[in-house]
Each structure stands twice: as structure tokens, then as C-alpha cells.
Structure 1
């Protein structure tokens, strides 16, 4: 019998024995000891929720906080290493609903491994995810305090910039092709909170592909992107022949990840946009 089949067999026996001895009276949520994160955003959520010491493996690009870099990687853009995850015997897996493939997660769930799906669409969802993770954390107060801090800071930003005349903003992701975001995204929400108006807010899909002419006809005053100074210059050069606008380059990890540091991106954007 292959080693991974043995692992499945023994884990299934353990699960059956647990149910036989304990029935279904055990709580669905309880503090866990072995956690695997399958996305950089869920890794950051885990640490903010007080689960850092319980993390045993993460995905590629899980580079914050520093301790995450030392953990084994079991997932990347190519997929999830199911056999290795089974061998590590986690009791909780943190998965990104929009980014992780569903089939291997369903396979892991059949072995009795709890799957926590993160599906952040708004800033408040980040706080809600932290509150949900508090049920698994040995430090639930840390998770709840992190959630409250995000809500308080974001509400304060919205109050501070509520009375400004909205500036037309183009959210740019990439140049060949060019993608942007609709109002159904975390990034668009923080633009609105900071006194901006997303020129593609009405798109029917969250991440539409657009062309140069579509952007020019909407006449943005500001371009918001995530990236370095060098990438900011590339965007400026791309538009310079036809459009001169202010460009705000935010810390890409803060801006692109649906995790606790989105509030840092919001604070950075509000300062620069105004």
C-alpha cells in the first residue's frame, strides 16, 4: 500500500474511533494545534488571530510576518500538495475560496479535516474572518481585538473623508493586458472611503479587462496601483502620450491581499489621495 493511502486509512480509522467513543457532542469549533494556510492572506489572518504558533505549513509567498518565511510550503500557483498535507496531520486548513482549487480541499475534508474558507469582499469581512477564527484560536481575545481595531480605523477613515468631492480614480492592475476592479472588491471600497470614485465601479464582473480607449473616455484624475517606484514609472510612461494624471503606488502586499494589512493600504491611500 502506498504511503499516502496508509495515511488516509489510519486517519479514517482514527476519525471513526473518535466518533464512536465521543459521538457528536464535541463542539464544532475548538482551539486547534496544527494549522495549515493555503494563501498569503489567510496566513496573515492566522497570525492576527493568535494562531501563529499553531501554523505548521503555508503557501508560497506567505512572507509576513517574518516567522511565516520559515514554515514549509505546501501550495503554490500550480496547486495544493495533498499528500504532504495529509502527512502533516493538520486539524484545520485555512483556504482562499477564490484562489484555491476546490477538488483537493473536498478530498481533505472527507478525511475529517476542518476547512476554513476565507471569502473577503469588503473591509468589514476581514474583521469578520478574524472573529470567526477566534473560535479556533488559543488567544481569542487577540483575534477579537484585531477585528475591532480594523473596524475602528476604517470607520474613522470614512468619517474623515466623507465630505470630500469624489475624485475619478482608475484602479490599474497590469499593463498588458490592463485589468481593473468593480465596486465588488476590497480595493474599490477603500478608494471610495478615501474620497475617490472608481470609474469602473459599475462593471458587472469584479475584475474586468479594459483597454486604453475605455480608460481615456472616463477621464480619471488619479491612477491607483500596487507596486514599486519603478513600476509606477512604467505606468506613467504608458499613459504619458495621451493622459497626464497623478499616480499613487501603494505597497502591493498591503493592497492586493485580502488580509489585516488592507487597513494600512487604506491609510496610505487616504493620505496620498488627499
Structure 2
């Protein structure tokens, strides 16, 4: 019913680089929990109260299992993923970003920054010319990270798997770049909004929760499974992911399994316009009897608020919650 597929294969199958750059490919072991400085007390002040100023040098363990030491407060940062870019700007460190990957387009200020390419076409000469003292990369970009290391650029891999990981990585980035107050503010706002959604659906019995199918890709048919932040978002919105028993965060799923599970809502990223139009028109063979198709509950969601593990992920959560339970989210 389900087949596991790694993110590298996923990209090879034709899924846009936007998704992998957004961090949509954390494997089942992608979430490593909150990282802490290797130096005891680096982020504390006398009396045990949390400090809002990072002490350097700072050592962290990143999502590639690497130990990285940042010698001083980063002043020239290169972001190599849209999610990292959005986090940096949201926590108040945007004025220190000197270059971004090709897909970073939010906020508007990021669009005007020098573009240094993507995972497969990184312009290392341009990165060197920008003279960065920190690079924030993503998982699955081993060659890129290795080259940056060879160039002497401190590089931290950020690859959250779960929704909780996303919040923890925002805090980690805040600590790395000495923007802890901004990171705490962003995480506090996100937690409040997540809790607000959860509280509105908390009393819905399991058997009455809306069954959801999220289409990641159409050929082969892929969806989201446990261990991934989109799965977590669906559950936080009060939905039941029909692939909740899959063995990985990004499994293949058969057409027949979707029919058997009979989702009441189908969600498709906006980048898969042809899939959305096919489903809306009821033209996918064998799916005519699925409840979501019969009742027209097929929705297209902006990739950037659901596939980028950053501050706007709560917008994706709130949108999905409105689709699932419009009476509770008016």
C-alpha cells in the first residue's frame, strides 16, 4: 500500500526544487530534537536565568549530525533555503543576510538580495565574494556543504522533520545569530496560534474527524506520512491523515488505497495545478466515488505556507483548519 522513497529520489522524479529547498524532505530520522551549545553556560547568565545574548564561540550540533563552531556573532549570513531566509527575517536578523538561494522570495526584501543558486547549481565564487561568516544550509545537500566547509565558511544544516522541530530550529537559529529575543517572539506567536487551532477542534471525537489526503506528487502518487511536519499540521487542524500508518514521512501510495481510505478532503499544493484541475473535474479514473470528489472538497494550497518549515507554516495550519471545519473557523 505504501512505499518509502527518499528525498533525493523524490527530486529525481520531477518534484520541483522549491519543495526540497523548502525543507520538505526530512527523512524518518530527520528530527534530532533541540540542539544545545557544547559549552556549558554559553547561553546562561549568573543565577540560571536565560540570557538573550549569545556567547561566542558557540558550538552546535546540526541536523546532519555535524558539530559546528561559530567563533563570533554572524554579521554576513548566506541563506541557502527559503525557509531559513524567512526565519532570519522574521527573528530580526534580515539586515545581516547578504545572499540567498535562487528560490528565496519572501519577505520582499529577500528578493532583492544577491542570488547564489540552488542545491545543484550553487555559485560558490559568488558566495566567496560575499565574504560570509555563516551559511545556513538544508539537508540532502552534502556536496554543497562539503564545498562550503572547504572554503572555510561555517555552515549549519537546518532540516526540521516535525512541526515541533520547526519551532526548535527557529530557536536554534536565533541562538546561532544572536537574535534570541526575536526567535522567542516568533515561536511564542506560532505556539499561540497552533494552540488556538487545536483548542477549537479538541472536542471532536476521533470517529468524526475529517479524513484528509494530501497529494505531494502524482506520478508516482505520493503523500505525507508520520514523522513529517505536513502530517503534523493536518493532525493539529483536527484532520485524520489517511496515510497515518505509512512507514515514512513521504511515502508512495496506491490509487486503490486512497479509494479504500475514502478521504473527505483532498489537498493539493498549488504547484500541482494539473492534479488539482483533474480532481476538481472528477477526471481521475476510479476516484469518482471518493467523498471528497463527490462533494467537491478539493483544495489548492500555496506551497510556500505548507512546504516551507518556517514562521508561515501556521498560516498553512489555519487555512487547512478552515477547510476542514468551516463552522469552527469563521
Normalising TM by the smaller chain, what interval? 0.7 to 0.9
Tell whether 2:279 aligns with 1:235: yes
- Tell me, yes or no, if the aligned pair for 1:173 and 1:226 is still in contact at 8 Å: yes
* Among 80, 86, 101, the residue aligned to 1:59: 101
Note the C-alpha offset of 1:243: 2.9
Map of 2:33 onto structure 1 = none
Contact 1:40 1:63 in 2 (8 A): yes
Instruction: Within 5 Å, give how 1:252-267 maps onto structure 2.
Output: 252-267=303-318
What is the match of residue 40 of structure 1? 82
Query: Which residue in the other structure is 1:17 paired with?
Result: none
8 Å contact kept, 2:135–2:154: yes
Deviation, 1:205, is 2.1
Shift of 1:81: 2.0
**8 Å contact 2:81–2:104 — kept in the other structure?**
yes
> Contact 1:126/1:147 (CA < 8 Å) preserved in 2?
no
Runs of 5+ consecutive residues of structure 1 not aligned to the other structure: 1-24
RMSD between aligned residues? 2.2
| Superposition deviation, residue 199 in structure 1 | 0.8
- 1:121 counterpart = 2:164: no
| Residue in 2 that maps onto 1:75 | 117
Gaps of 5+ in 2: 1-54, 59-69, 326-330
The equivalent residue for 1:92 is: 134
| 4+ long deviations beyond 6 Å | none
* Larger CA Rg, structure 1 vs 2: 1
Aligned to 1:149: 189
Question: Partner of 1:75: helix, strand, or coil?
Answer: coil
Aligned pairs, number: 248
Q: Bigger relative contact order, structure 1 or 2, given CA contacts below 8 A and separation 6+?
A: 2
CA distance in 1, matches of 2:248, 2:142: 21
Residue 103 of structure 1: how far off its partner (Å)? 2.1
> 2:155 and 2:108 mapped to 1: Cα distance?
25
Q: Which has the higher helix share?
A: 1
